[in-house]
Structure 1
């Protein structure tokens, strides 16, 4: 098919084909059409096309609520006794490490001691460029993550080729995590990417960490991306409103004490 033959009808037919024949959902369709749009953009820049067939086409991503583990569910995983199963014990530890650092699978898989150093507060920080976006990510190491690093420290140089944790392939990690979730009696679909959502929501935002700070730690270039990952849960809203009630009550008491002025 020649570039000049690409028109508005072709794009809408392509959209319809993806939804009916391939049975893709809205966001998957948008991702496919975006790839075509990039080719069209290059063609327009080079003068290979005289008009943009996408000019009247619109197809928006549907907002999806990202899953995450609650603090109680994270605690369940942490307290699960896996001492008799080295395979699942390692997978659980890597997952929890990502819950407390916000690292993606690609980033934790490449993590080595060169990425860990003392920060401005004289505590350990993980500083690396994200594999996906190459943007800088700086994350203070929480005590829970530090404990996991210490657990595997003596095995690092010999067992894991200098990497700080025993990370298996992404496919195996996700398969084994299902086993771990079953043992912990967690019904949610637990995967490596769920750890990143958990860090954003249950570990940081729910505990009052500013969304701008969370965005920096996650290595996001746009705070809108963080807002998609990290939906503030009801408990955080409740805490914030309780603080507001206390402040308002305090102000009312002060006015009464001042004679109502």
Structure 2
């Protein structure tokens, strides 16, 4: 293996499935940041004459010497082109190096090149704290989905940007929903990123207009199940003989009273407990998903759970606030807990967060602006997804209104007497 730079690896290999006349083609494979490209050298050799470890053709024949010189030239040219890109401060990917080596017009960018460059710049923003790791992961997943899509739809590994048509958005959606078995909202998430990548391509001057700019992403509002206060209290008062079930119940209840997702609870340490502006105990952390700061006062039951595990052996040895199991075990135990408590709902950490937003906060008349802050939302529009008014809340509000109207009626009646 040749390593011309910390990020460039070059290796030659025989392509055994493409042999002819007893000889196999030699391909050059080069890898940059785990992205791999292979090209034919247009040279052929018998398998017995090839030294895979030494990366050369064995023997002193004129043919062997000619091929070896050719391979050395290819390797040297790839190193040279790589250094050219590096000196110019341009983004370097395996695809870009391949195009430069083959003399492809630099301005004729491909979809994968565009998303690779977009990804690299996004990663820089993550490193500087401007974007979240979760969002970067979504860009990476979109890149992989697009690779699978172009191979499935067009029977190629990449598409020139200037050949992309508006229909790609609808075709990509169909692929994600049917071939990948994804739901509508997940498909829209990937298409939204595709739109951003193509807008980025326009901004860079690689495209004149965004071919999917007019595509409208439509979302189906998900059904967000939550626990009622009666169900929360059933969990709270239930005694468990098995310690693991009791611990999982406590962690789930803690999420119901703080709104923290599984990964956030898993990462909490005693250092996350701070004294708030009111002199009470708060939890201060950053959401793993978005990097958004969350500051949540500890309600009595949540504080009770924290105190319960203050001297827990596992928590102390791992410097954890609560004894949180792996996600797979955690979900399995939640299913068992629901059965024991007679709760006919599928308990999840998402349900706990929704319970906090609705049952614990909104139904107790906490303003939605405060709920948004407690959930660590960047926009109140996100919080409004949780704000479906329950029938119980409608009944409570109407009862208050009836009493108010009845009082007004009596006041008017007394005034007429």
User: Given the two structures, how large is their TM-score scaled by the length of structure 1?
Assistant: 0.92
Name which of structure 1's ranges 62-71 and 34-43 shifts more when overlaid on structure 2.
34-43
Match of 1:23 among 152, 162, 181: 181
Identify which of structures 1 and 2 has the higher relative contact order when contacts are C-alpha pairs closer than 8 Å and 6+ apart: 1
Match of 2:266 among 103, 109, 112: 109
Q: Show the counterpart of 2:153.
A: none
CA offset digits 1:135-175 (Å, max 9, x no partner): 22221111111111111111268645222101122222112
**Separation in 2, partners of 1:211, 1:238:** 19
Q: Is 1:235 paired with 2:386?
A: no
**Separation in 2, partners of 1:252, 1:158:** 61
Do 2:283 and 2:296's aligned partners in 1 also have CA atoms closer than 8 Å? yes
Q: Show the counterpart of 2:199.
A: 41
CA offset digits 1:219-256 (Å, max 9, x no partner): 11111111113422111121112112222222232233
**Separation in 2, partners of 1:2, 1:182:** 55
Q: Show the counterpart of 1:4.
A: 162
Structure 1 unpaired stretches of 5+: none
Q: Which has the larger radius of gyration?
A: 2
Q: Show the counterpart of 1:220.
A: 377
Q: Show the counterpart of 2:302.
A: 145
Residue 46 (structure 1) shift: 0.9
Do 2:268 and 2:321's aligned partners in 1 also have CA atoms closer than 8 Å? yes
Residue 80 (structure 1) shift: 2.1
Structure 2 unpaired stretches of 5+: 1-158
User: Given the two structures, how large is their TM-score scaled by the length of structure 2?
Assistant: 0.59
Matching of residues 174-193 of structure 1 within 5 Å: 174-193=331-350
Do 2:202 and 2:210's aligned partners in 1 also have CA atoms closer than 8 Å? yes
**Separation in 2, partners of 1:174, 1:38:** 35
**Separation in 1, partners of 2:319, 2:388:** 36
Name which of structure 1's ranges 98-107 and 33-42 shifts more when overlaid on structure 2.
33-42
- Relative to 1, partners in 2 of residues 1:134 and 1:207: Cα closer, same or farther, differing over 3 Å? same
Do 1:208 and 1:236's aligned partners in 2 also have CA atoms closer than 8 Å? no
Q: Is 1:90 paired with 2:240?
A: no
Secondary structure of 2:291's counterpart equals coil
Do 1:197 and 1:230's aligned partners in 2 also have CA atoms closer than 8 Å? no
More strand per residue? 2
CA offset digits 1:45-71 (Å, max 9, x no partner): 111111111133223111112111111
Residue 185 (structure 1) shift: 1.7
Do 1:205 and 1:211's aligned partners in 2 also have CA atoms closer than 8 Å? yes
Secondary structure of 1:148's counterpart equals helix
- How many residue pairs get aligned? The number is 259
Match of 1:129 among 279, 286, 305: 286
The ranges of structure 1 where at least 4 consecutive aligned residues each deviate by more than 6 angstroms after the TM superposition are none
- Relative to 1, partners in 2 of residues 1:173 and 1:157: Cα closer, same or farther, differing over 3 Å? closer
